[in-house]
Structure 1
């Protein structure tokens, strides 16, 4: 939709008032605008523009006490309750390394940020919401009943930009890359894969070979990457819950990756959604979006790291899951993953 055809901020506000039952993403899709435009339309009413860089925004979030961190992509929503602790800033990548809130953030995608204060039937809701240049949500912080409201107000006063613009001038979305595979580099890929000593070396390796994650998985073959059935993700969550296996579950987008480390207990499918509904961690996964699942083996200095990784039909990564490593190799996780249902051979075709 061109900017000339887009609804005005006043029209967006009226649409929100007329359809309060709709989630922001769903209403934005109906209106043909990015989610960020819904929030920008509220500037001067319920929203205030803030400095968006993580180096500015995240350190004062640690003063809010217990909050809920939310990171999502098109197919999964990751929600974790805790405190923002141990912030590590940087120009290109930043981190929060607390025991409950664990984030990897990439500042170039933190384009616009807002503080939102809304009156609802359940009381006042306060949040911080960050969007990328296309207007898609990168990360959100929702205050909980025990959060420090005075600290929130201080944060808003300190970081407010003074920009009263109610428009969100969205850039075009970056199209999905799909699988990038180099048949002539497969032997090099396998040889270098064997030599890895840390999982973080993997993306550097595939980038050097002009591939990407999914292309490498499709081409490498066993034991490096083996296709699983789409239902393997639900089987993995149910198996971890039934056996009390602690996991590390990653959900992210281009600007933020959020990690849950610990058990999952309450697994509840609801229509197309598969959900983890635990007191301090929720996952909402569109199981019907899962097109490919891979069991991936990577060598490390502490023994093999085995993951389950799900992708959508356009090749976008939905989630990754590892066994939580303590002092020793996660034996129960590895055994459980070995029994997950295999995928069809067609899934390995480039």
Structure 2
């Protein structure tokens, strides 16, 4: 590959990303997040995504910029430019979506993009997904951007290879589960939430989402060290999981934030009891290496139908509810 046309500044940026990727270890989710954020910046794009193959669909498993709100979105490989690049095993560029019959125009319009590059991710000679950069402008990308993506796709494909070689789990599982706690991550949370929302709308069912933010994690890290902080996060994840039913799911959304889908909502009283039980379980005594550590969390929620029927509305409502709880506790001096 001729890299002479790529500026030294761009090459230095790519080397910097290579270093950052190496520092992520085997955390495939973090690696994909890093790659999507860096490729967006390096190509001056409006967004970027990594789409992994799950059966006959492509799932937005990491996303940045204009693609971020579509995390977890599933697209058929058939009739899409991403699917075509996988079939051909070569990068493809579309600089005018409206005049390109290879693309899924409806999906592109939904996202708001008018040009893109799609790069197949090849792992152990198999195509496992696509690295994509997006722009709201037509004719935004050029051949240099393709060369940059070829270098970036090599990074993530190599880490996919290592993830598969060093673990028994399948790639999609590793890419959609949190490395620290073992529960599902942000990508799978939104994937599951989209599917639950669609099913509930079709079948006239009800469900709820909970957003939960740990209180005082910084103080735990400062006073007892990051190992204690990690242990606290793992313990909270376990305690949440133990309060849920078999069909409910808990995901680590990042840092000290968790998202929960309560699959079948019977009535508000039962749901309020679940919230109280979850709060009670989290605040039980916890000891780490002989030190007693106080655990607490702010919990917010939104109910499908009652609080909204659209994903963004429900998430915003749950977050707002959770931050209200956190503000009240700060006002009482219980959260720092």
* TM-score above 0.5: no
Q: What TM-score does the superposition give when structure 1 sets the normalisation length? A: 0.29
Identify, as 1 or 2, the structure richer in helix.
Answer: 2
